[in-house]
Amino acid sequence: MTSPTPSLPCLPLVPGVLVAPRKIAVLHAKALGDFLVTLPALEAIKETYPQAQLVLLAKPWVKNFLEGRPSPVDRVIGLPALAGVHDVVETKGQISPPGSHSGSEEIDLFCLSMRAEKLDAIIHMQGDGRSVNPFIKRLGARLTAGMRSHAAERIDRFIPYVHYQNEVLRNLEIVALIGAHPAGLEPRIEVTETDEREITPLREIVDGGPYIVIHPGADDFRRIWPWTRFADVARSLSDAGYRIILTGTPKEEGLVARTKQASGRAAIACTSLGLGGLAALLQKSALVVSNDTGPLHLARAVGAPTLGIFWAPNVLNWGPLHRNRHCLAISWQIECPGCAVKPVSPWPFQPATAACDHPYSFVDSVSTEEVLELASELLSSTP
């Protein structure tokens, strides 16, 4: 009589639950804001399977940011540049085709190294699956899970990809496919001593009384509120007795300088901090006023009160789940001012038309008065 085949470690005894997994990988190779909204899902995995090693396949900057910082992730492995996986490649609204990574020796070597890891499960939190699903199936995990559109390859377990879904809840729904239960809903980042040391040159400012951080930039111009209005906000809040710190990336130095000059106040321009130093600066602020971009989500994750300027449909994906310390100034401009097309998202702009490159801000309709009113409400209600 033939003895029964033993169960694989990751096969479920009850629907959705993994049995004694030793190693679980999560693939996510996007930007700061995208990464932060994965944190509750990563915590859920670690809470449910504390003995399993949690491996994050991500961009190299994530490894640097998490090094020495408490997090549910045990290891970060850098992903090679991969069209459609290592961020979505988008040109005039067209997503890079699936399979465009095939034939790369670097990718083949990476897949070989991952198969040697003997993963019990690999989960992706990255898009509709057209490019990602074929890739994760090459990594040799016993179980694959993630998202799938009708055009994507099947994986073992998946939820349907729908554009409009809160990103935190989307990622929690994905990890529920392997039986992970949420430990919390809000992304959390702990500020470390290393982060604090990075803002030592700003210590006199940080410890000298309440200050407000204003972040006038973003990666995509469609989500950028006019810098002249940020200057107006800086001027008004400065007159109300708050010190103003204008933040940005090194490539946004010009934007920050223009905003500072137009404000006519002694604002501090800060464009050289790393992510850790920025986290420490944001945490101690009385308020953060920003476009819908990574630093705004980082501010929420470290516990700062925030006022975000959003395009209305993006609130569904990126708006905060709690509102006691977070306000939204929402633009209800839905149609492109140039061609009246209604996009699914302002970036990547879908659908696109040949007649319009869409060089417009979709948050221009938000008034300075609305932002100042919301700021006043938050400042008066936050301890």
pLDDT of residue 337: 81
> What whole-number distance in Å separates Cα of residue 78 and Cα of residue 55?
10
Assign 3-class secondary structure to 284-315.
Answer: CCCEEEEECCHHHHHHHHCCCCEEEEEEHHHH
Average pLDDT of the residues in 214-221: 94
Q: Residue 338: helix, strand or coil by DSSP?
A: coil
pLDDT of residue 315: 96
> What whole-number distance in Å separates Cα of residue 223 and Cα of residue 311?
7
Query: Could you tell me the two tokens for 21?
Result: 């997994």
Length in residues, the chain: 383
Average pLDDT of the residues in 22-28: 97
pLDDT of residue 253: 96
Pick 23-178's CATH classification: 2.30.29.30, 3.30.1330.200, 3.40.50.2000, 3.20.20.10: 3.40.50.2000
> What whole-number distance in Å separates Cα of residue 233 and Cα of residue 14?
55
Are 23-178 and 193-381 equal in CATH topology?
yes
pLDDT in tens, 255-280: 999 999 999 988 999 999 999 999 99
127, pLDDT greater than 80: yes
With cut-offs at 50, 70 and 90, classify the pLDDT of residue 15: low
Give 202 or 382, the one with higher predicted confidence: 202
Query: Could you tell me the two tokens for 315?
Result: 């609130």
> What whole-number distance in Å separates Cα of residue 168 and Cα of residue 188?
12
121, pLDDT greater than 90: yes
pLDDT of residue 86: 67
How is the beta sheet containing 243-247 ordered, strand by strand?
268-270, 243-247, 211-215, 287-291, 306-311, 326-331
Answer positive or negative: Cα dihedral of 198, 61, 225, 282: negative
Q: What CATH architecture is 193-381?
A: 3-Layer(aba) Sandwich (3.40)
Average pLDDT of the residues in 78-100: 55
| Cα radius of gyration (the chain) | 22
pLDDT of residue 9: 40
Domain ranges of the chain: 23-178, 193-381
Are 366 and 330 in contact by the 8 Å Cβ rule? The answer is yes
pLDDT of residue 1: 42
Question: Which residues sit opposite 95 in a β-bridge?
Answer: 90
Average pLDDT in the chain: 89
Q: Residue 29: helix, strand or coil by DSSP?
A: coil
> What whole-number distance in Å separates Cα of residue 119 and Cα of residue 26?
10
pLDDT in tens, 227-258: 999 999 999 999 999 999 999 999 999 999 99
Per the omega criterion (within 30 degrees of 0), is the bond before 351 cis?
yes
pLDDT in tens, 290-328: 999 999 999 999 999 999 999 999 999 999 999 899 999
pLDDT in tens, 324-361: 999 999 999 998 887 888 888 877 777 777 777 777 89
Q: Residue 319: helix, strand or coil by DSSP?
A: coil
Are 329 and 371 in contact by the 8 Å Cβ rule? The answer is yes
194, pLDDT greater than 60: yes
> What whole-number distance in Å separates Cα of residue 253 and Cα of residue 53?
41
> What whole-number distance in Å separates Cα of residue 121 and Cα of residue 157?
11
* Range in 90-94, 118-122, 234-238 with the lowest mean pLDDT: 90-94
Looking at the whole model, is its pTM more than 0.75? Answer: yes
101, pLDDT greater than 50: no
